[in-house]
Structure 1
Amino acid sequence: MESFVIRTPSSSANIGPGFDVIGLALSIYLELHVTIDRSKTTSDHPLNCRVTYEGQGEGSGDIDLDPQNNLITRVALYVLRCHDQRAFPAETHVHIKNPIPLGRGLGSSGAAVVAGAMLGKEVGGLTHLTDARLFDYCLMIERHPDNVGAALFGGFVGTYLKPLKPEDVARIEIPLSEVLPAPAGGVDTGERPPEPPHGIGHHIKFPWNNDIKAVAIIPDFVVPTHRAREVLPSAYTRPDVIFNLQRIALLPVALGQSPPDPELIHLAMQDKVHQPYRQVLIPGLNEIVESMSPNTDDGFLGVCLSGAGPTILALATRNFEGIAGKIIGTLRQYNKNKDLRCDWKVLEPAEGTKVTR
């Protein structure tokens, strides 16, 4: 009996002015507990794989345990089929433990994609696949490198996508149609999907001052990513673009300095590209951003929307409960539900995806 555990961190994307660029791996971990009975040559389970689940969304009906439909196992199948393996090894059991809130802006889908790619590598014995190469596979399915880059490599990362050649763009959906069922793809043709181009995305790790913690305030409602994208404009004014460029040049340096400079970090965390437009989806967001500063809130450094929201991420060195309480109070004040449930956690930068045997 072979067994191993894949551990992938949650993540926050769009840190401050870093829309679609900067990501931060956070210390909430998706875990896959995998067993394979190598003594068996056949299985009664679809694609030789049994999927079980515990954690966020358990029992809600939102988690599909069919390996043909579950995002984690679909991504694993993509990696396997690119290497002429049509299914999992016989009698594979994948038990998913997921404490990452779903649809809250903490990278639950990015973690699933990264964990799935690593699952394909491990069950298929594809030891030649480096993390950099797995990044290419992840980016063929999840085109936001800030989340998957943070989840795969860990830490505080800057990411970018290489422009794809026309022939590569034309084939982006081919792996999905081969591996992922409708509506994401089509019927399995039995053919080998084309492997991703090399070097689709790149990343760099920025330094992070360990005195800085991330306080995640997680309201009890969902902001679908597609809805968060719809509210963004198709074009931006030059002053707004320059505003973000100025701050994104400062932020990675500011968060790595010791001791941290609260005023510099607060200024460098400001954004005019996505947060002003998404405040219609997260009532109170603008008031939180405008009202909080190092001068008014002890230990406070800066605040931003985590990913597409609704989670709010505050950076601080102390007074975590006080900062969380003020943000929760503001969210409730501007929400129709004055008793809006909000969880909060003090998180730290996390290591990237690891496999333990």
Structure 2
Amino acid sequence: MHIIKVPCSSANIGPGFDVIGLALSMYLELHITTKPTEPPTPTNPLNCTITYTGVGAENIDLDPSANLLTRTALYVLRCHNQRSFPPGTNVHIHNPIPLGRGLGSSGAAVVAGVTLANVCGGLNLPKARLLDFALMVERHPDNVAAALYGGFVGTYLNELNADDMARVEVPLAEVLPQPAGGEDTGLTPPIPPMDIGHFRRFDWSKELKAVAIIPDFEVSTAKARGVLPLQYTRKDMIFNLQRLALLTTVLSDSPPNPDLIYSAMQDKIHQPYRSTLIPGLTEILQSVTPSSHKGLCGICLSGAGPTILALATENFDKIAETIVGRFKQEGITCEWKVLEPAEDGTTVVEVPDS
């Protein structure tokens, strides 16, 4: 049996929209077993069964031809001339990562999918190549690189040439024929160019933890992007660039400087516009400060939201309770967790079958 663990991630940290991400200690976990003597059947032509526990279990599609995680794995396998999983593959998914809350649930699923293919197919691909495959399905390098490599990362994508532009993002319809589970065409899906995404890990202050306040509603990434303007003023762009230039360094300082971190985490590119989707967001970001809450260093929207990420050294419960209370005024319930950077990123462990 193999166990794959993939951390959740927070992207768009403060002014770092589509640039920086942070892997956090909440893990999507896969347990993979195979029974080579189990033959394919007409009802299971992909040789794979899925079981699932965790968040949103009632809405998770357990058909391997439709589930995002296994479809991603099949994309990678078929790029390597393997049309299905090894006979008798069972994938048990345990997922504590809230869906659609800005904690990288889809990025974690895609990273888990490419890693699953690497394990099941015996492909021995390095993480750099797995990143290419993941970015063909999930075009958010800040989430994907953080989940794959771990820690606090900065990322960018290559400018692809005209030939590659058609392959910028692989429609899942190209991974499996439509409708899902239909007859295998035998075609090889688009293979990613080499090194389409780049990342660099930054240091992280050992004193800083992340308090994730998770409201009980979803914000889709598409909707959150839909409220953003197509153009920004030079003034707003300079505002963000100035702060981003400091942020990746000040978050590594030990001890951290709360006032400097708080000011460096201000943003004018995405958070002001997404306040229309998240009741109370503007007030929370402006009122929860180092002067009002001991231990607080910075606060921002996590990913597309609605999760709020508060970086702090202490007083976690009071910080969380204030934000939970503000959401409660809007009729919104929340849960909250104290998380730490997941330094190892995605891991694979082989354990003896019990």
TM-score of the superposed pair, with normalisation by structure 1 = 0.94
Corresponding residue number in structure 1 for 2:340: 348
Aligned mates of 1:183, 1:46 — CA distance in 2: 14
Residue-by-residue CA offset, 1:71-108 (whole Å, 9 max, x unaligned) = 00000000000000000001000000000001111000
Counterpart contact for 1:304–1:314, Cα < 8 Å: yes
Q: Does 2:294 align with 1:302? A: no
User: What residue is the counterpart of 1:268 in the other structure?
Assistant: 264
Q: Which residue does 1:84 correspond to in 2?
A: 81
Q: Which residue of 2 is the match for residue 103 of structure 1?
A: 100
Matched residue, 2:51: 52
Code of the aligned partner of 2:338: V
Q: What is the one-letter code of the residue matched to 1:55?
A: G
**Contact 1:68/1:181 (<8 A) preserved:** no
Judged with a 3 Å threshold, the aligned counterparts in structure 2 of structure 1 residues 183 and 329 are, in CA distance, closer, same or farther, namely: farther
1:19 corresponds to which letter in structure 2? F
Aligned to 2:163: 167
- Measured after TM superposition, the shift of residue 291 of structure 1 is 1.0
How many Å separate the matches in 2 of 1:296 and 1:183?
55
Pair 1:115-2:99 in alignment: no
Aligned with 1:74 (options 65, 71, 90): 71
- Distance of aligned partners of 1:209 and 1:311 in 2 relative to their CA distance in 1, 3 Å threshold: same
* Aligned pairs for 1:1-357 within 5 A: 3-43=1-41, 45-59=44-58, 62-127=59-124, 129-172=125-168, 176-180=172-176, 188-333=184-329, 335=330, 337=331, 340-350=332-342, 351-357=344-350
Question: Deviation string for 1:135-161 (max 9, x for gaps)?
Answer: 000000100100001000000000000
Alpha-carbon distance between aligned partners in 2 of 1:185 and 1:16, rounded to the nearest angstrom: 42
Give the distance between the partners of 2:16 and 2:178, measured in 1 at CA.
33
Q: 8 Å contact 2:101–2:218 — kept in the other structure?
A: yes
Deviates more, 1:187-196 or 1:210-219: 187-196
C-alpha distance in 1, partners of 2:333/2:170? 42
Whether the 8 Å CA contact 1:46–1:66 is kept in 2: the answer is: no
Superposed CA deviations along residues 243-291 of structure 1, whole A, max 9, x for unmatched, are 0000000011001011100111001110000000000101111001111
More displaced 10-residue stretch of structure 1: 244-253 or 175-184: 175-184
* CA distance in structure 2 between the partners assigned to 1:253 and 1:184 by the alignment: 46
Q: Which letter maps to 1:24?
A: L
Task: Tell me which amino acid in the other structure corresponds to 1:121.
Answer: N
For residues 182 and 49 of structure 2, the distance between their equivalents in structure 1, rounded to whole angstroms, comes to 22
The alignment covers a number of residue pairs equal to: 348
Counterpart code for 2:15: P
Conserved? CA contact 2:73–2:116, under 8 Å: yes
Deviation at 1:178, TM superposition (A): 2.3
Partners of 1:265 and 1:181 lie apart in 2 by: 49
* In 2, Cα distance between equivalents of 1:185 and 1:114: 22
Counterpart contact for 1:248–1:268, Cα < 8 Å: yes
Greater displacement, 190-199 / 301-310: 190-199
Counterpart CA distance in 1 for 2:12 and 2:157 is 15
Aligned-pair CA distance for 1:183: 8.9
Identity over the aligned pairs, expressed in percent? 64
- Name the CA distance, whole Å, in 2 between partners of 1:282 and 1:116: 31
Matched-pair contact (CA < 8 Å) for 2:167–2:192: no
TM normalised by structure 2 equals 0.95
8 A Cα contact 2:13 2:302, kept in partner:
yes
Say whether the 8 Å CA contact 2:299–2:309 is kept in structure 1.
yes
CA distance in 1, matches of 2:181, 2:309: 34
Contact 1:263/1:294 (8 A) holds in 2: yes
Compare 175-184 and 284-293 and name the one that shifted more. 175-184
Q: 1:325 to 1:183 in 2, by over 3 A?
A: farther
CA distance in structure 1 between the aligned counterparts of 2:212 and 2:179, rounded to whole angstroms: 33
Deviates more, 1:289-298 or 1:22-31: 289-298
Q: State whether residues 136 and 198 of structure 1, in contact with CA within 8 Å, keep that contact through their aligned partners in structure 2.
A: yes
Cα deviation code 1:144-203 (max 9, x no counterpart): 100001000000000000011111112345563321566999975211123200011000
Q: Secondary structure at the match of 1:315?
A: strand
Unaligned runs of 5+ in 2: none
